[in-house]
Amino acid sequence: MTLMMVFFISLTGRITDWNHYTHFGGVSDIIVEGSTVTGATTGGVIFGSIQSGSIVWDSTWTSPGNLWHSDARCLARDSYGNLWIGTYGGGIDVGLVSGGIQHYGQLEGLPISLAINCILPDTTIWVGTTEGLCSKEFGYFEVWNEFTTGGGLPSNIINCVANVDSGLLVGTDNGLVMLRSDQYPGQPGSWLNFPVVANTIVQDILVVGDTVWAASTDGLFYQAAGQNWILDSSYPGSYPVSLGEFNGLLAVGGQGNVAIFDGLEWIFGSGGLEGQVVKAISWISSDQLAIGQYSIYANNRASGNGVGTGTLNSWISSLPEGAPSNDLYAVDVDSRNDVWVTSNRRGAAVYSEFGWVEFIDELPKPNQVFACLADNSGGVFIAPWHSGVTWLDWNGTPERSDDTYLNLNLTNSGLLNDQVTEMAISPTGEVWFAQEAFFQTPSEPSGVCRLSWTPGQAETASWKTFEPSDGLPSGYVRDVASTSSSSIAWMGSKEGLVEGNVQTGQVLYYAGTSQGLPSGDVQSIALSRNEDLYVGTTGGLAVMKAGEGTFMDVEGVSGNIDILCFDNLSCLWAGSSDLWGGFPEGLYRIYPNGTVEEYNILNSPLQSLNVRNIACDYDNGLLYLVTDHGLWKLTLEQGMSGSIESATVYPNPFIPGDGQVLGVAGLPDELFDIQLFDLTGELVYESLSQHRNVFSWDGYDMDGKLAASGTYIVRISQNGDHRFIKLAIVR
């Protein structure tokens, strides 16, 4: 058969867009100007207006976009009306009254970490960082630290600064000092020490008339003109954090409380502030305050209740809609293509056409939700650490009355214990649970469980287990990967990898370092379409080609590889995350031909390489990453679904005989025909009446020989329509 044809080829970018979903609840600073409120949050800067005692949010600045980094920690307005924004990792951004953003970073002299705690824009711009005090009088910043000041600074972590007549007060993580007026910071004699407020973390400084107040971990201090610092023993709180003043009224925000001093006595309130640190406090009027909150339990201020308005025990808290937290752990995409995430402190949430919907009270515990898995029915499994798993079906609507949920734990299910580390689902719907023993009860049963059931119907549940007594090298199982068999799965443990059959309790294969694994501590597992097995370990990434018995290292990928995920075009994504206080080494995309791309904070918008989990929306060609800085959505080259006009084949170029299989994407999952022709029009291969999700070609032609190198034309036919695609075959 021969065919004459004309075709058009267009090439697309690899990642066409990066979208960032952040949480605005961890508030570190507030500016109240009339009826407007500006807040610095770990998700960016938020702008709102006060209406009838509450805040209506108008807009946000975040990264990518207006800011270089989304974690904003401090705000200041200069005499020209410009808004100075200090970020924790991105330096300083200045919103100019004339429009646009001016950025200050390492090139302008700021320290390498670019972690900004406070800004005082004056004739000299003073900036407190985690690496010293910075000053800018001309075109660039100079950095002063303990060494360069001759010991004038008691710590390089600068939390707050304030001008007084006699000099610049500087609050640090180890006490309060003053740079004398008109003195050079680099001279030890330029600094005045205050022994009363030494060796304490100074959180905030406020000048009220002739009195200076300092909030510290040792209590609330004050200094009247010409006197020494005094600890205010009448202050009713124990840990003051933030200070604000209005017409002689002093407001102090603490851990879970607010206190007001009228010059004679203190009034104290803690209602509605449980679990929150009041990091910023500002007066709206004589009877109303605005407070910035973050969760006392959150890592790095990743979540919180946002901005509150009110006074003492009466607060209305609000924040712009966003992700449930920036400190996220797991992600998956359900059958509706809705995105589920779990967090360290705020349970789970789903993002759909309705925006974000949170699930907190439905879970036995909202903390340390380390894993989630969407099943084939529309439901999702959510696993809070040490509390089993919860199966939830929200029916795809924000209406909560029709939700169904079921808590499964050690007492009412076949789970070995209540610590689920990872989950996987087989093509036929069985759910696999990887489990490890709780550190306080290391002898409790642990291993792998398999659940067979009608989703949501506990009475239909059938459980099978695979434990060390069956041949697991360790009960500390970090990941599990299902196979085409409903009884067989790959199980990665702290002391090696096995392929096990839960029906027979038989180990079919074992691998450790002697079989080529970089380390016996297996962290992640992924199977490709052609059944190549990828294994991430604490020592790197290895692959075992289908039919072979040993592993080879994947070059160009290093670190603790605890996240693996295939995208819709058979590229493998690998994440190297934090291990025992170390640093993540990178995010990698490994193409079917072996090419490795690395993404980091220099060549991508990512603000952290601490990628905790990855999931792919295969239909739409979207990749989701959860990190300690929120959720990221990456738009890839091509989704699996679409119309015949967007159909494509992958990988391209294609290497037959190397274990690769050719796939089809970008068209409806309905029957289609595919034919492959050489440039003379001769038919090389055809497959009729196939479905998108099951089609694969191993590179052998109609005569059973491997197709030769060269350029070929692929014709895809569906419902009477055709598309022609150029394919390169490499041998």
Angle, CA 531 vertex, CA 525 and CA 535 arms, to 5°: 20
Q: Are 326 and 302 in contact (CB under 8 A)?
A: yes
Is residue 4's pLDDT more than 80?
Answer: no
**pLDDT recorded at residue 518:** 96
Flag whether 183 is in a domain: no
Mean pLDDT of the chain: 92
Helices (H), 311-421: none
Flag whether 186 is in a domain: no
Tell me the Ramachandran region of residue 232: left when phi exceeds 0, alpha when psi lies from -120 to 50, beta otherwise.
beta
Separation between Cα atoms, residue 162 and residue 146, nearest integer Å: 19
Q: Which residues in 422-455 are b (16+ Cβ under 10 Å) and which e?
A: bbbbbeeebbbbbbbbeeeeeebbbbbbbbbbeb
Provide the 8-state DSSP code for 461.
Answer: -
Range name among 216-230, 523-537, 685-699 with the lowest pLDDT average: 685-699
Is residue 12's pLDDT more than 50?
Answer: no
Terminal alpha carbon distance of the chain = 25
Flag whether 449 is in a domain: yes
Domain boundary among 603, 636, 669: 636
Q: Between β-strands 36-41 and 44-51, what pairing exists: parallel, antiparallel or unpaired?
A: antiparallel
- Burial (CB count <10 Å: 0-12, 13-18, 19+), residue 469: exposed
Q: What are phi and psi of 640, to 5 degrees?
A: -75, -35
The pLDDT tens digits of the residues spanning 457-472 come to 999 999 999 999 999 9
Is residue 3's pLDDT more than 70?
Answer: no
Separation between Cα atoms, residue 731 and residue 725, nearest integer Å: 20
Separation between Cα atoms, residue 118 and residue 132, nearest integer Å: 11
Structurally, how many domains does the chain consist of? Answer: 2
Flag whether 685 is in a domain: yes
**pLDDT recorded at residue 583:** 59
Flag whether 411 is in a domain: yes
Are residues 388 and 336 located together in one domain of the fold? yes
- Please provide the size of the chain in residues: 731
The pLDDT tens digits of the residues spanning 501-542 come to 999 999 999 999 999 999 999 999 999 988 899 999 999 999
Place of tokens 């924790």: 88
- Tell me the residue type at 33: E
Give the CA radius of gyration of the chain: 30
The pLDDT tens digits of the residues spanning 38-56 come to 999 999 999 999 998 889 9
Neighbours of 702 (CB within 10 A): 12
Helices (H), 140-286: none
Domain of 383: which CATH number?
Answer: 2.130.10.10
Task: Determine the average pLDDT of the residues in 436-442.
Answer: 93
What six digits make up the tokens of 277? 């640190």
- Burial (CB count <10 Å: 0-12, 13-18, 19+), residue 219: middle
Domain boundary among 636, 664, 688: 636
| Beta strand residue intervals within 237-338, DSSP E | 240-246, 249-254, 258-261, 266-269, 276-285, 288-295, 306-311, 314-318, 328-333
The pLDDT tens digits of the residues spanning 425-436 come to 998 899 999 999
Provide the 8-state DSSP code for 379.
Answer: -
pLDDT class of 2 with cuts at 50, 70, 90? very low
Q: What are phi and psi of 356, to 5 degrees?
A: -90, 135
- Domain around 696: 644-729
Task: Determine the average pLDDT of the residues in 200-205.
Answer: 98
The pLDDT tens digits of the residues spanning 615-635 come to 999 888 899 999 999 999 999
- Tell me the residue type at 405: Y
Are residues 582 and 715 located together in one domain of the fold? no
Range name among 208-217, 332-341, 536-545, 689-698 with the lowest pLDDT average: 689-698
Are residues 565 and 669 located together in one domain of the fold? no
Is residue 638's pLDDT more than 70?
Answer: no
**pLDDT recorded at residue 140:** 92
Is residue 647's pLDDT more than 90?
Answer: no
Q: What is the pTM of this model?
A: 0.86
Are residues 568 and 715 located together in one domain of the fold? no
Q: Which residues sit opposite 64 in a β-bridge?
A: none
pLDDT class of 691 with cuts at 50, 70, 90? confident
Are residues 603 and 650 located together in one domain of the fold? no
Flag whether 632 is in a domain: yes
DSSP-based three-state secondary structure for 476: coil
Task: Determine the average pLDDT of the residues in 660-686.
Answer: 87
Flag whether 47 is in a domain: no
What six digits make up the tokens of 473? 């090298």
| Beta strand residue intervals within 592-709, DSSP E | 596-599, 611-617, 622-627, 630-636, 648-650, 663-665, 672-678, 683-690
Are residues 655 and 687 located together in one domain of the fold? yes
Separation between Cα atoms, residue 587 and residue 606, nearest integer Å: 10
Flag whether 223 is in a domain: no
pLDDT class of 351 with cuts at 50, 70, 90? very high
- Burial (CB count <10 Å: 0-12, 13-18, 19+), residue 79: exposed
Separation between Cα atoms, residue 72 and residue 88, nearest integer Å: 6
The pLDDT tens digits of the residues spanning 103-151 come to 999 999 999 999 999 999 999 999 999 999 999 988 899 999 999 999 9
Are residues 617 and 666 located together in one domain of the fold? no
Are residues 422 and 487 located together in one domain of the fold? yes
Closest CA to 488 of 476, 506, 471, 474: 506
DSSP-based three-state secondary structure for 5: coil
Are residues 551 and 452 located together in one domain of the fold? yes
DSSP-based three-state secondary structure for 470: helix
Separation between Cα atoms, residue 154 and residue 156, nearest integer Å: 7
Whether omega for the bond prior to residue 605 falls within 30 degrees of 0, making it cis, is no
Separation between Cα atoms, residue 251 and residue 260, nearest integer Å: 5
pLDDT class of 8 with cuts at 50, 70, 90? very low
Domain of 687: which CATH number?
Answer: 2.60.40.3580
Is residue 315's pLDDT more than 60?
Answer: yes
Separation between Cα atoms, residue 80 and residue 66, nearest integer Å: 20
Domain boundary among 611, 636, 661: 636
Are residues 612 and 666 located together in one domain of the fold? no
Are residues 456 and 534 located together in one domain of the fold? yes
Neighbours of 668 (CB within 10 A): 17
Place of tokens 């180990």: 507
Is residue 384's pLDDT more than 80?
Answer: yes
Task: Determine the average pLDDT of the residues in 244-253.
Answer: 96
pLDDT class of 490 with cuts at 50, 70, 90? very high
Q: Are 633 and 575 in contact (CB under 8 A)?
A: no
Are residues 679 and 565 located together in one domain of the fold? no
Place of tokens 């508030």: 27
